[in-house]
Each structure stands twice: as structure tokens, then as C-alpha cells.
């Protein structure tokens, strides 16, 4: 198997409503990633596109629609889709395009334009349920995640403060991120805990709201890295894993994300990691809700079950802590244009590992990072381990 | 490393399937493929792939609904928003990358559940430039057929020949939904829809599910004494805006073929294959694709059709399965279905359609209106 490196990354502003079309957003992100990799679109052998529900943009075969903006015209162009997991999954698909030898350089572009969906993107989520068993209950995402958060808090006896601390940390971490929608240097624990109640126990500041944006990365084989002298700006993909759980979320114990754990084990095996807490220097788990960061840290084997909240309280997951978590600011701080979170997950690992994270740079020496995304009906996990 | 196809599952295609949900259809296709390969999906499969589009399925996020009926719960699985051969390409790459040994690729159509098929296709047009023009979206096929016939020198009569031949071939295929004894004259006299396209020039949606089991060389040889090898694969897209596409010789087919031929080391496509399964969602598409793939010289595909070169006993038997015109348009499962048909031919399991000991096949797909994306697979038997 060939080694594969990220050699460039780019992302647009993340904002509630952007003026640009989805094609334009894709173009901007792709252009930035190519510029950083010192390449032109002609150097790219294949394009992978990631974008979440078609219904956000309101275009059938959305991947086809966005392909010229993403640089896919007259190229092998592949759209992969794993719901919210697409933010990291498309990079995994890009990885196998290069690792298999079919492409030497692959461009991965992720786009999301949620603001086209009126009156609110949440209305798309009315159509993600089993039409017979779930839909008549008229569920929405906030309340099923509230159930999961409640289960997690209740089983482990985790106080709400420990969960709200994640939102404070991430919104503060996002200060200095040039694309951030939700950075707040002065936010306090009280602000989060006193914010409007959405569906108990979830409050408004526990959630990352809808957003528009795009992100892109350039993947290259070892040969390309050597020939183009990109070694100093290359971060290597050492392991990938992905896993889907049953559609029947009502049949699962929501307290532990088994699917994330299995995806992590797959990625760790490939990356030869057997003691993740010791061998991994920082993490970018998926944090659309603050409790999800904790949930996912446990799924990733970076915290024992029920202890991730305590780690947060003790400051271990701060940027200058022993295990920095979401140094980018995460979805809670930078924003959550679903698939475009590629830029704050894979993108952040890339910029951190190559020392290009600027004000967000982790102060300690780092060699290995892990990132993860989560999708579908609380059922999808995908994990990427990267090294300097 | 070689990659082989070791299991094929195809449900019979039908205009409507009221007694099965799409989930049950997937289960049916999967259990056929697993039985054919002799595998247990829970222990013998490294990764699962499904090819689907949200709007065809009627869900916000269709990926959610894929694992249970394939035996893929708590296993690596993902969705490709593309044609079945693009899904097969992902399987190929996962195996070449060492990420999986055995991969299952699924695609299906429950077109009969779609109440507003025409509306969904329109919804795929550019919302600023094209969709506001209105009209039935198949006008694009009419325009393209006109441009192709003028640009290549093929005739509407040639297209009628294809419309007739494929429906007749489908009479021998037990999976086909729309086999019929139609003469070229009847096809040419069928009601005009989007000039010069006539109603028998267009395929009709059908329900069905196709599942393939794909394996790396070692695993493939263990499971099947003489596997059908996936010798080459390619896929490509042309511009999404119809105004800037190549209308005579579709770039997606040319580029996908070039990629697949490179992998399969094919230098002379016209003589390389014993059979072809190429996309024929519209009759002219078969001729257009044969020329773009380099299997017919420009303007000659129609003559080949009329000379009988494309018939079962001809020089290059094409769409002897009945194609989309005869079997039904099963949306993004179309490409995967034709790979299944070619695999059965190469194995000698094609029943009444069986050709005389074919050794190598080419399969090509197109995603259908309004897309300009397609894929090519080269399959072969032998060491």
C-alpha cells in the first residue's frame, strides 16, 4: 500500500448565510487547497466530493451539480455520502484513491449550503426517519440528541457543568480562527448554562447552529511529495476506519458510541496504535453538540467511559493541556456546515501537524493526531489518524 | 493485485413491486449474492458499499437506511452518490489499498415508489440557468439525440433498430421487465415525444436490486475456482451544465474508457471484446456510447446495428441482456446490473442469452438525465 499525505488544505468562511453559490464556495476552498499545495487543477488526477443531504441545496444529484465548482469537470469525480460523517469520510475515500494507485494526486472538496433550505435546515431533518416507525412521532434532531445526552449524563452521573465546559472551551479556542462563525473570547460557563432551553437538557449554546461553507484538501502519494519537494508541508495519513450501526437507533443503548469505537480500532490497527491515550498527542473529535465531544473521546479510547467530562473540568483537553481537544474551536466554535467541517477536522490536523496553525498552534510538540466525524441517525463513525 | 467478482445477486426487474419495500428488495438481492458467493456477510465481508441518491429514495439522508438488510450492522459501510460501477470502483480501490479483502456493492431502484419522477429529474437541473425554463426534462435527450445524429451521421432509423433489438433480446432474459416483439418500423412509428426522440426510444423505470461480491485475488481464488476478473475500471464526468458539454461524443464515456483501457492494457478496443453492455437509457445513447468507447468508428455504430454486428451472433454482441430498453431503467443500479450480466456471460451462466464462450467484456454506464457522468468496467476470465 502506498503512503498518502495531505499537502494542502483550504476553507471558506463559515457563516449562517453566505452570498456565494455552492459551486463558488467549492471553487474557493479548492483554489486555496491547491494554492497551498503549489498545484493547479491539471495536476489533479481525481476529485472526491463530500456534501450532505441534497435537500439542503434543493438540487437532485447535488454532487453532479457541484462538480465544476469542485474541479471535477472531465476528471474521475466521486461523491461519497455518510450523513454528518461526510466531513471526515470524504478524506478517507480520497485516501483510497491515492493508496490504491489509481491517482497520484486527489483533491477532496466538501461543501454545504444549509441556508438555501427554507424556512430552516431542520425541516430537511423531518425526512430522515423511518416513515412507518419514527416519522409519525414527528421527531427532530435536537430532541433525539437530547435523549442521547440525557442517557449519557444519567448513566455516568455526569453533571451538566462538565458538558457545558466543552462549549466554553471550543468557542474560546475558535478565537483566532479566520473562518470562525461562533468564536467568543469572553464566553463563560454561566452563559452556556443559562442559554435558552431547546429540549431538556440541551440548551442553545450546547449546539452548533446551521452554517454555509466549503473546505478542501489535496492528497498526494509519497512519490509526488518527494518529486515536488513537499515534505516540509506534508502530514501523513496513518490509519483510516469507518463503521455504521443499525438504522434502528431505538434498539441501541445510546450511552456509548460503539460505531465510533469500532472505526477507531480499525484506524488504530492500521496506524499501529495500541495505547491511544499515550500515542496520540491531540484530537479533533466531532462536536456538533458539546456532549458529543465527550462521547466521542470515550469512543476513540482517549478517555475511560464516563470520564471525559472530568478530563474537561481538569483542563486536560485545553489547547495547552496534556491532550488538546478541538484546538481549532471545533464545530461549536468555528461552525457546522455539515460536510465542510472537513476544514476543522482533517484541515486542523494538517495545519497543526505541519506547524501552520498560527494563533491556534498547540504549544507542545505534536507527532500524532486523530480526528473523527459522526453521522446519520446517531449511527456513523469515521476516524482518521495522521502523523507529522 | 487482481480483483475478482465472486458473487452476483439480481432480483427480477418489474414495473412495480407492491409487496416488497425497498429494504426487502435490497435483502432479496443481497441474499442471492451471498448464496452465489457462498459467504456469510457478518464474518466474511470487509466493507459494504451502496449507490443511492436521496431524492430517488425519498429520504433526507438515505445512508442511514442501508446496513441492516445487507448484514452490515457495525461494519464499514458507506454510500456513493453515483452509479453502481462507481461503487464498484470504490470496492476496487479499497481492495487495492489493503483496506478490505471482500467488498459488497449494492444498488437498487424502487422507482415505482416515486410519484413525481419527472419532477425529480427537473430538480437536478441548474436552479438558476436551466430549471426555470420548465418543460419535461427529457427535452434534453431530444436535443442531444438531434445533435448526435447530425454530428455523427447516424440516423433515427438506426436508433429504431436499437429500440427493437434490445426489447427483443430482453424476451430471453428472465430478469427483464419490458421484453417485447417490437420491429424497427414500429419503433420508428411510435409517438413522437421530444423530437427526434420517440416513445420507444426511451427506457421506462423499473424496480430491482443488484448486489455484487468483489474480492482480492487470494480471497477470490479461495471462493471461486475461476473468478471473473475486474481487469480495468474508469469513471469520469463532463460539465454539469448542458450548454458546455460535448453533445456528439460524450467526454464522460471517452475519459472513463481511456482510464479503464489503461488499467486493462487494452490497445485496440474494437477487437478486444467478445461482448459489450453499454448504456441505452435512450436508444441513441447506445450508438453514441459505442462510438465514444472506440468500439465503433464515428458514424458507423448505426450501420453496425443494422448489419447485425451487435446481435448475439455478430462481431460485437451488444446489450444481449436487453439493456435498459428491454430490462427497464433501474436508475443508479443500471451499471451494476450490466456488470452482473457480463459476469454471468463470462461464467457461462447467462441462460438463454448465453454467448459462445466469451472471454472478455466491456460494460459502460451513464447516470441518466441530467447528469454527464459515466463509468466503464472491463471484465475477463482466464488466469
Integer Cα distance of B55 and B118 in angstroms: 12
Contact B284, B154 (CB under 8 A): yes
pLDDT over 70 percentage in chain A: 100
CA end-to-end span of chain A: 19
Q: Does B92 touch chain A (CB under 8 A)?
A: yes
- Bridge partners (DSSP) of residue A373 are A382
Domain co-membership, B303 together with B359: yes
Domain co-membership, B267 together with B293: yes
At A132-152, the pLDDT tens digits run 999 999 998 998 999 999 999
Inter-chain residue contact B121 with A60, CB threshold 8 Å: yes
Using alpha carbons only, give the angle A292, A248, A295 rounded to the nearest 5 degrees: 15
Report helix, strand or coil for A258.
Answer: helix
User: Which residue is closest to A376 within chain B, CA to CA?
Assistant: B64
- Which chain B residues touch A130 with a CB distance below 8 Å? 65
Inter-chain residue contact A100 with B92, CB threshold 8 Å: yes
**Alpha helix stretches (DSSP H) within B153-266:** 156-170, 184-188, 217-223, 251-264
Domain co-membership, B70 together with B104: yes
Whether omega before B159 lies within 30 degrees of 0, making that bond cis, reads: no
Domain co-membership, B284 together with B174: yes
Backbone angles phi, psi at B121, to 5 degrees: -60, -45
User: Which residue is closest to A62 within chain B, CA to CA?
Assistant: B124
Residue in this structure with the C-alpha cell 415525444, named with its chain if needed: B193
Integer Cα distance of B66 and A376 in angstroms: 11
Integer Cα distance of B201 and B223 in angstroms: 41
In this predicted structure, the answer to whether residue B213 has a pLDDT above a threshold of 90 is: yes
**pLDDT tier for residue B225 given thresholds of 50, 70 and 90:** confident
Give me Rg for the CA atoms of chain B: 19
pLDDT over 90 percentage in chain A: 95
The per-residue pLDDT of chain A, averaged, comes to 97
Integer Cα distance of B367 and B84 in angstroms: 9
Inter-chain residue contact A80 with B81, CB threshold 8 Å: yes
DSSP B71-90: T-TTB-EEEESS-HHHHHHH
**pLDDT given at position B383:** 78
Would B160 be classed as within a structural domain?
Answer: yes
- What's the domain range around B32? 3-116+206-223
Whether omega before A201 lies within 30 degrees of 0, making that bond cis, reads: yes
Q: Which of A130-134, A199-203, B295-299 has the lowest mean pLDDT?
A: A130-134
Give me Rg for the CA atoms of chain A: 19
- Which chain B residues touch A96 with a CB distance below 8 Å? 90, 93-94, 96-97, 99
Q: Does B108 touch chain A (CB under 8 A)?
A: no
In this predicted structure, the answer to whether residue A1 has a pLDDT above a threshold of 80 is: no
Q: Does A58 touch chain B (CB under 8 A)?
A: yes
Q: Does B105 touch chain A (CB under 8 A)?
A: no
Q: Does A160 touch chain B (CB under 8 A)?
A: no
Q: Does A75 touch chain B (CB under 8 A)?
A: yes
**pLDDT given at position A109:** 98
User: Which residue is closest to A269 within chain B, CA to CA?
Assistant: B99
Integer Cα distance of B342 and B320 in angstroms: 10
**pLDDT given at position A259:** 98
Q: Does B166 touch chain A (CB under 8 A)?
A: no
User: Which residue is closest to A124 within chain B, CA to CA?
Assistant: B60
CA proximity to B318, closest of B293, B351, B298, B336: B293
Domain spans, chain A: 4-118+209-387
Dig out the grid coordinates for A301 from the structure. Answer: 479510547
CATH number of the domain encompassing residue B188: 3.40.47.10
Query: Where among B177, B196, B223 does a domain terminate?
Result: B223
Minimum distance, in Å, between the CA of residue A306 and any CA atom of chain B: 22
CA proximity to A295, closest of A338, A335, A325: A325
Would B11 be classed as within a structural domain?
Answer: yes
Domain co-membership, B152 together with B14: no
DSSP A159-186: -HHHHHHHHHHHHHHTTT-TT-SS--TT
- A352, B62, B65 from B53: Cα distances, Å: 35, 7, 12
Q: Complex ipTM above 0.90?
A: yes
CA proximity to B25, closest of B38, B14, B36: B14
Domain co-membership, B108 together with B185: no
Whether omega before A46 lies within 30 degrees of 0, making that bond cis, reads: no
- Which chain A residues touch B241 with a CB distance below 8 Å? 68
Inter-chain residue contact B237 with A64, CB threshold 8 Å: yes
What lies within 8 Å, CB to CB, of A72 at 6+ separation is A47, A49, B237
**pLDDT tier for residue A184 given thresholds of 50, 70 and 90:** very high
Domain co-membership, B109 together with B143: no
- Residue to substitute from B88, B235, B240, B241, interface A, most A β-carbons within 10 A: B240
- Which chain B residues touch A67 with a CB distance below 8 Å? 237, 240, 373
Inter-chain residue contact B78 with A242, CB threshold 8 Å: yes
Would B122 be classed as within a structural domain?
Answer: no
Q: Which of residues 25-84 of B touch A (CB under 8 A)?
A: 53-55, 58-61, 63-68, 72-82
CA proximity to B300, closest of B146, B201, B153, B144: B153
Domain co-membership, B321 together with B197: yes
Q: Does A59 touch chain B (CB under 8 A)?
A: yes
Q: Which of residues 174-233 of B touch A (CB under 8 A)?
A: none
Integer Cα distance of A66 and A371 in angstroms: 26
In this predicted structure, the answer to whether residue B133 has a pLDDT above a threshold of 80 is: yes
Domain co-membership, B29 together with B66: yes
Q: Does A155 touch chain B (CB under 8 A)?
A: no
Across the interface, of B72, B241, B259, the residue whose CB is closest to A76 is B259
Across the interface, of B86, B99, B239, the residue whose CB is closest to A96 is B99
Minimum distance, in Å, between the CA of residue A226 and any CA atom of chain B: 20
DSSP H helix total and E strand total for chain B: 15, 11
Provide the number of structural domains found in chain B: 2
At A213-249, the pLDDT tens digits run 999 999 999 999 999 999 999 999 999 999 999 999 9
Would B259 be classed as within a structural domain?
Answer: yes
Domain co-membership, B219 together with B238: no
Backbone angles phi, psi at A159, to 5 degrees: -70, 150
Provide the whole-model pTM: 0.98
Minimum distance, in Å, between the CA of residue B325 and any CA atom of chain A: 23
Integer Cα distance of A294 and B168 in angstroms: 61
Inter-chain residue contact B61 with A83, CB threshold 8 Å: yes
Contact B234, B256 (CB under 8 A): yes
Q: Does B354 touch chain A (CB under 8 A)?
A: no
Integer Cα distance of B358 and B336 in angstroms: 19
Integer Cα distance of B47 and B97 in angstroms: 13
Domain co-membership, B250 together with B373: yes
**pLDDT given at position A269:** 98
User: Which residue is closest to A58 within chain B, CA to CA?
Assistant: B123
**pLDDT given at position A170:** 98
Integer Cα distance of B105 and B82 in angstroms: 12
At B14-66, the pLDDT tens digits run 999 999 999 999 999 999 999 999 999 999 999 999 999 999 999 999 999 99
- Which chain B residues touch A81 with a CB distance below 8 Å? 63, 78-81
Inter-chain residue contact B99 with A243, CB threshold 8 Å: no
Domain co-membership, B99 together with B41: yes
- The whole-number average pLDDT for the span A359-380 is 97
CA proximity to A293, closest of A166, A140, A114: A166
Inter-chain residue contact B240 with A375, CB threshold 8 Å: no
**Alpha helix stretches (DSSP H) within chain B:** 22-37, 41-44, 54-57, 84-96, 117-122, 139-152, 156-170, 184-188, 217-223, 251-264, 269-272, 283-292, 301-307, 323-327, 334-347
- Residue to substitute from A69, A78, A103, A112, interface B, most B β-carbons within 10 A: A78
Domain A4-118+209-387 fold is Peroxisomal Thiolase; Chain A, domain 1 (3.40.47)
Across the interface, of B74, B76, B95, the residue whose CB is closest to A258 is B74
What lies within 8 Å, CB to CB, of A321 at 6+ separation is A315
Contact B166, B326 (CB under 8 A): yes
- Which chain A residues touch B61 with a CB distance below 8 Å? 52-53, 83, 128, 375-377
At A83-104, the pLDDT tens digits run 999 999 999 999 999 999 999 9
CB pairs under 8 A between A and B: 189
DSSP A58-71: T-TTHHHHTTTTTT
What lies within 8 Å, CB to CB, of A219 at 6+ separation is A4, A5, A6, A7, A91, A94, A95, A97, A98, A105, A106, A107, A108, A237
Amino acid at each position: 500500500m502506498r503512503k498518502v499525505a495531505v499537502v494542502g488544505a483550504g476553507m471558506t468562511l463559515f457563516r449562517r448565510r453566505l452570498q456565494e453559490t455552492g459551486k463558488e464556495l467549492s471553487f474557493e476552498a479548492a483554489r486555496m487547497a491547491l494554492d497551498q499545495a503549489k498545484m493547479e487543477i491539471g495536476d489533479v488526477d481525481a476529485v472526491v466530493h463530500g456534501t450532505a443531504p441534497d435537500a439542503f441545496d434543493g438540487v437532485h444529484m447535488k454532487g453532479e451539480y457541484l462538480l465544476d465548482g469542485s474541479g471535477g469537470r472531465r476528471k474521475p469525480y466521486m461523491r461519497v455520502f455518510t450523513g454528518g460523517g461526510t466531513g471526515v469520510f470524504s478524506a478517507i475515500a480520497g485516501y483510497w484513491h491515492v493508496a490504491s494507485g489509481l491517482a497520484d494526486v486527489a483533491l477532496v472538496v466538501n461543501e454545504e449550503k444549509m441556508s438555501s433550505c427554507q424556512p430552516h435546515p431542520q425541516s430537511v431533518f423531518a425526512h430522515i426517519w423511518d416513515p412507518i416507525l419514527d416519522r409519525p412521532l414527528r421527531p427532530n434532531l435536537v430532541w433525539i440528541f437530547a435523549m442521547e445526552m440525557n442517557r449519557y449524563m444519567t448513566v455516568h452521573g455526569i453533571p451538566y457543568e462538565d458538558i457545558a465546559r466543552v462549549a466554553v472551551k471550543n468557542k474560546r479556542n475558535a478565537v483566532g480562527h479566520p473562518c470562525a462563525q461562533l468564536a467568543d473570547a469572553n464566553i463563560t460557563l454561566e452563559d452556556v448554562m443559562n442559554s435558552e432551553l431547546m429540549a431538556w437538557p440541551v440548551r442553545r449554546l450546547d449546539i452548533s447552529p446551521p452554517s454555509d461553507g466549503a473546505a478542501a484538501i489535496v492528497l498526494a502519494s509519497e512519490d509526488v511529495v518527494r518529486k515536488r519537494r513537499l515534505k516540509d508541508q506534508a502530514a501523513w495519513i496513518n490509519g483510516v476506519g469507518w463503521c455504521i450501526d443499525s438504522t434502528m437507533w431505538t434498539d441501541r443503548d445510546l450511552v456509548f458510541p460503539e460505531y465510533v469505537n469500532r472505526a477507531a480500532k480499525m484506524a488504530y490497527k492500521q496506524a499501529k496504535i495500541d495505547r491511544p491515550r499515550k500515542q496520540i498527542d491531540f484530537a479533533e473529535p466531532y462536536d456538533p453538540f458539546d456532549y458529543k465531544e465527550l462521547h466521542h473521546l470515550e469512543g476513540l479510547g482517549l478517555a475511560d467511559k464516563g470520564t471525559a467530562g472530568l478530563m474537561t473540568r481538569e483542563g486536560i483537553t485545553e489547547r495547552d493541556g496534556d491532550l488538546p481537544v478541538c484546538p481549532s474551536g471545533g464545530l461549536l466554535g468555528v461552525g457546522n456546515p455539515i460536510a465542510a467541517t472537513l476544514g476543522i477536522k482533517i484541515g486542523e490536523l494538517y495545519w497543526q501537524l505541519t506547524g501552520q496553525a498560527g494563533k491556534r498552534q498547540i504549544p507542545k510538540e505534536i507527532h500524532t493526531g486523530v480526528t473523527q466525524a459522526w453521522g446519520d441517525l446517531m449511527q456513523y463513525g469515521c476516524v482518521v489518524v495522521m502523523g507529522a | 493485485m487482481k480483483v475478482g467478482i465472486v458473487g452476483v445477486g439480481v432480483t427480477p426487474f418489474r414495473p412495480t413491486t407492491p409487496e416488497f419495500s425497498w429494504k426487502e428488495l435490497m435483502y432479496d438481492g443481497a441474499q442471492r449474492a451471498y448464496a452465489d458467493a457462498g459467504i456469510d456477510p457478518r464474518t466474511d465481508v470487509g466493507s459494504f458499499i451502496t449507490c443511492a441518491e436521496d431524492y430517488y429514495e425519498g429520504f433526507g439522508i438515505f445512508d442511514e437506511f442501508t446496513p441492516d438488510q445487507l448484514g452490515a450492522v457495525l461494519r464499514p459501510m458507506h454510500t456513493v452518490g453515483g452509479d453502481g460501477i462507481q461503487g464498484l470502483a470504490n470496492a476496487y480501490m479499497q481492495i487495492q489499498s489493503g483496506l478490505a479483502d471482500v467488498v459488497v456493492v449494492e444498488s437498487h431502484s424502487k422507482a415505482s415508489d416515486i410519484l413525481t419522477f419527472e419532477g425529480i429529474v427537473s430538480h437536478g437541473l441548474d436552479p438558476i440557468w436551466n430549471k426555470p425554463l420548465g418543460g419535461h426534462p427529457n427535452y434534453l435527450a431530444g436535443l442531444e439525440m438531434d445533435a448526435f445524429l447530425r454530428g455523427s451521421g447516424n440516423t433515427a432509423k438506426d436508433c429504431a433498430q436499437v429500440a427493437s433489438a434490445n426489447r427483443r433480446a430482453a424476451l430471453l432474459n428472465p430478469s427483464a421487465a419490458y421484453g417485447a416483439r417490437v420491429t424497427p418500423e414500429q419503433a420508428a412509428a411510435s409517438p413522437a415525444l421530444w423530437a427526434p426522440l420517440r416513445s420507444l426510444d426511451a427506457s421506462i423505470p423499473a424496480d430491482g436490486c443488484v448486489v455484487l461480491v468483489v474480492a482480492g485475488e487470494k480471497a477470490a481464488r479461495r471462493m471461486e475456482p475461476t473468478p471473473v476478473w475486474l481487469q480495468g475500471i474508469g469513471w469520469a464526468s463532463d460539465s454539469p451544465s448542458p450548454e458546455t458539454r460535448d453533445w456528439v461524443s460524450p467526454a464522460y464515456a471517452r475519459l472513463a474508457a481511456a482510464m479503464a483501457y489503461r488499467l486493462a492494457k487494452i490497445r485496440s478496443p474494437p477487437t478486444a471484446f467478445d461482448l459489450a453492455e453499454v448504456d441505452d437509457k435512450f436508444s441513441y445513447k447506445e450508438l453514441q456510447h459505442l462510438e465514444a468507447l472506440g468500439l465503433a468508428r464515428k458514424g458507423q455504430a448505426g450501420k453496425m446495428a443494422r448489419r447485425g454486428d451487435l446481435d448475439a451472433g455478430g462481431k460485437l454482441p451488444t446489450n444481449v441482456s436487453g439493456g435498459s430498453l428491454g430490462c427497464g431503467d433501474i436508475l443508479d443500479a443500471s451499471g451494476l446490473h450490466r456488470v452482473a450480466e457480463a459476469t454471468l456471460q463470462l461464467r457461462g451462466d447467462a441462460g438463454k442469452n448465453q454467448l459462445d464462450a466469451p472471454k472478455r467484456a466491456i460494460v459502460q454506464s451513464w447516470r441518466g438525465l441530467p447528469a454527464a457522468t459515466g463509468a466503464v468496467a472491463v471484465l475477463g476470465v482466464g488466469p
